[in-house]
Chain A
Amino acid sequence: EVQLVQSGAEVKKPGESLKISCKGSGYSFTSYWIGWVRQMPGKGLEWMGIIYPGDSDTRYSPSFQGQVTISADKSISTAYLQWSSLKASDTAMYYCVRHGRGYFDLWGRGTLVTVSS
């Protein structure tokens, strides 16, 4: 089955670091860009950035450049989204997505990140 499987929900304190994951299966992981989309509570969708696991070429939305780091380990078909110092405003659902030709054709179920003191 073609799918993206995301890591589980996280509860963190402000200032802590975090790395969440997204494992692709059922397709050639190195042949598609993988992106991340944020959805804050009760809000819409925001594209954060995208990586090509084949060569780790990475692009960020200007809104998220410098705020997060996207990486991938093609040997285990896994992409990552990480923060070095979380803020309460990072509380959101984070979806990993597979990029088709200008659209996101496959979505993970999401990882809920809660940042609270």
Chain B
Amino acid sequence: EIVLTQSPGTLSLSPGERATLSCRASQSVSSSYLAWYQQKPGQAPRLLIYGASSRATGIPDRFSGSGSGTDFTLTISRLEPEDFAVYYCQQYGSFMYTFGQGTKLEIK
């Protein structure tokens, strides 16, 4: 089973700043099968990025994904108040899906 480790566990930033979230895999992941989700309190997660770098429908262009192999990054270029949430990465391979443990992005 591929284990995804997200860092940092908590990221404290101010609106307008740039956020960089990391997701590291225990073995190589196909870039086609790496996704990022956002979850706000009391809500279901929402797909942000799929295929490591493609934005889902309706996702603002301040969100971007990059990376390959075992290291992937979600970048939020300029934080808006509504971006403070928990973010999860997820990988898929041979009918096995795993999620990272999440990064909480909080207002500084």
CA distance A63 to B67 in the complex (A): 29
CA distance A42 to B91 in the complex (A): 22
Question: Which chain B residues have a beta carbon within 8 Å of chain A's beta carbons?
Answer: 1, 30, 32-35, 37, 39, 44-47, 50-51, 56, 88, 90-92, 95-102
9 new A-B contacts, CB < 8 A, other than A46-B99, A102-B50, A103-B90, are A45-B99, A50-B95, A95-B44, A102-B30, A102-B92, A103-B47, A105-B47, A107-B46, A109-B44
Q: A35-B97, A46-B99 given as contacts; is B92 within 8 A of A103 (CB)?
A: yes
Complex contacts, B33 vs chain A, CB 8 Å? 101-103
Which 8 pairs between the two chains have the least Cβ-Cβ distance? A102-B33, A102-B92, A103-B35, A47-B97, A107-B44, A103-B50, A59-B95, A45-B99
Q: Report 13 cross-chain contacts, Cβ distance below 8 Å, ordered by A residue.
A: A44-B88, A44-B99, A45-B37, A45-B99, A95-B44, A102-B30, A102-B51, A103-B51, A103-B90, A103-B92, A104-B35, A104-B45, A109-B44
